[in-house]
A = this chain, B = another copy of it.
Amino acid sequence: MAVYTEVTDDDLTQFIAGYDLGQALSFKGIAEGVENTNYLVHTEAGPHILTLYEKRVAVEDLPFFLGLMEHLADAGLACPVPVRDRNGVMLRELAGRPAAIITFLDGLWVRRPSVENCAALGETLAKLHLAGQTFDMTRKNALSVSGWGPLHEAAKGGADTIAPGLNAEVVEELHALESSWPRNLPAGIIHADLFPDNVFFLNDQLSGVIDFYFACNDALAYDIAICLNAWCFEIDNSFNITKARALLRAYDGLRPFTHKEFEALPMLARGAALRFLLTRIYDWLNTSADALVRPKDPMEYVRKLRFHRNVKSARDYGLGDN
């Protein structure tokens, strides 16, 4: 939520001149993106996003992210497309940082997703997974089950300052998931961070999916589990099975769940809840009191985790009971 790297007018003008976009008419730093610096640039060819990749993003992953966006857009998914410069290059350098120009997507993100929004999400997620099957680059998921232990190590000392007993609950869950994490599920490209703020709607139609900087290869159903957590709980932490059913059915209509995925869904949902709980605990403990970005409440994900722990089967998410 900040501009970490300042770009001068001269540098921007010279950079934009490398593209077939006409000249830059204006540019504004956007208060979005915790990882990177983003500018909204109006060019004669329309609005674009200029992203400067900051240190938290591994440079060696950038060809994967940019290539994936181009691949998915080519396959018809509404997502930002990296613009190639006059030499055909997507990833360049600006102000000492790796930088890319990305197409701009219209739409607003929805604070309170409706049942219809969840159905549209399910359909788009299936399309994303199907389109990803023909993408030939791979990236390991650093935040899957093998990454949770180290993440917990980094945060465990302060967990109980957030809530008494939190650390013990996390440890117990971590052990349970490590010992019975579902393996050999249908795998492929997943978005891995498909929260409502990464999905745009316009006139109640899904107009685009953004922010592919956590995308990686993993079980496809794990991506669904992330969405169940991010889209199907109400503000009071109650689970809205109507929204979940809409999401899952829409997904299933395009890419039918396998039996193994059906069986695995509750465990994947627990894992997804733990993954975001762990990063939220870490961020909570490592954000200074006067930072502009207030860290998100870890306890929200404790409550979601407890819900999934009591789920008996994917039927409790509304799947397969029609």
Binding site for B on A (CB under 8 A): 1-3, 8-10, 12-13, 23-32, 40, 42, 47, 104-112, 200-203, 288, 290-292
Q: Select which of B24, B111, B288, B292 is within 8 A of A8 by beta carbon.
A: B111
User: Are A31 and B3 in touch, CB under 8 angstroms?
Assistant: yes
CB distance from A204 to the nearest CB of B (A): 11
User: How often does this chain occur in the complex, in copies?
Assistant: 2
Supply 13 A–B pairs (Cβ within 8 Å), ascending by A.
Answer: A9-B109, A23-B203, A25-B106, A26-B105, A26-B200, A28-B32, A28-B40, A29-B32, A30-B31, A31-B31, A42-B106, A290-B290, A290-B291
Given contacts A3-B1, A8-B111, A290-B288, contact A42 B47 (CB under 8 A): yes
Q: Closest chain B residue to A110 by CB distance?
A: B9
A40 to B30, CA, bound (A): 9
CB distance from A11 to the nearest CB of B (A): 9
User: Are B290 and A12 in touch, CB under 8 angstroms?
Assistant: no
**Among A26, A105, A202, A288, residue most surrounded by chain B Cβ atoms (within 10 Å):** A26
User: Are B291 and A108 in touch, CB under 8 angstroms?
Assistant: no
A2 to B2, CA, bound (A): 7
| A28 neighbours in B (Cβ, 8 Å) | 28, 30-32, 40
Q: Closest chain B residue to A30 by CB distance?
A: B28
Supply 5 further A-B pairs (C-beta < 8 A) apart from A25-B202, A40-B40: A27-B108, A28-B30, A29-B30, A29-B32, A288-B288
CB distance from A170 to the nearest CB of B (A): 27
A32 to B12, CA, bound (A): 17
Q: Closest chain B residue to A11 by CB distance?
A: B111
| A112 neighbours in B (Cβ, 8 Å) | 10
A40 to B29, CA, bound (A): 10
Given contacts A42-B47, A47-B42, contact A111 B9 (CB under 8 A): yes
| A200 neighbours in B (Cβ, 8 Å) | 26
Q: Closest chain B residue to A104 by CB distance?
A: B26
| A27 neighbours in B (Cβ, 8 Å) | 108
| A29 neighbours in B (Cβ, 8 Å) | 1, 30-32
User: Are A107 and B25 in touch, CB under 8 angstroms?
Assistant: yes
| A42 neighbours in B (Cβ, 8 Å) | 47, 106
User: Are B26 and A108 in touch, CB under 8 angstroms?
Assistant: yes
| A109 neighbours in B (Cβ, 8 Å) | 9
Q: Closest chain B residue to A289 by CB distance?
A: B288
A29 to B23, CA, bound (A): 23
A28 to B288, CA, bound (A): 25
Q: Select which of B12, B40, B288, B292 is within 8 A of A108 by beta carbon.
A: B12
CB distance from A15 to the nearest CB of B (A): 12
A30 to B2, CA, bound (A): 9
A292 to B26, CA, bound (A): 23
CB distance from A60 to the nearest CB of B (A): 27
A104 to B8, CA, bound (A): 20
Instruction: List 5 A-B pairs, minimum CB-CB distance, nearest first.
Output: A29-B31, A9-B108, A25-B106, A3-B31, A8-B111
A112 to B10, CA, bound (A): 9
Given contacts A40-B40, A108-B13, A111-B10, contact A292 B2 (CB under 8 A): yes
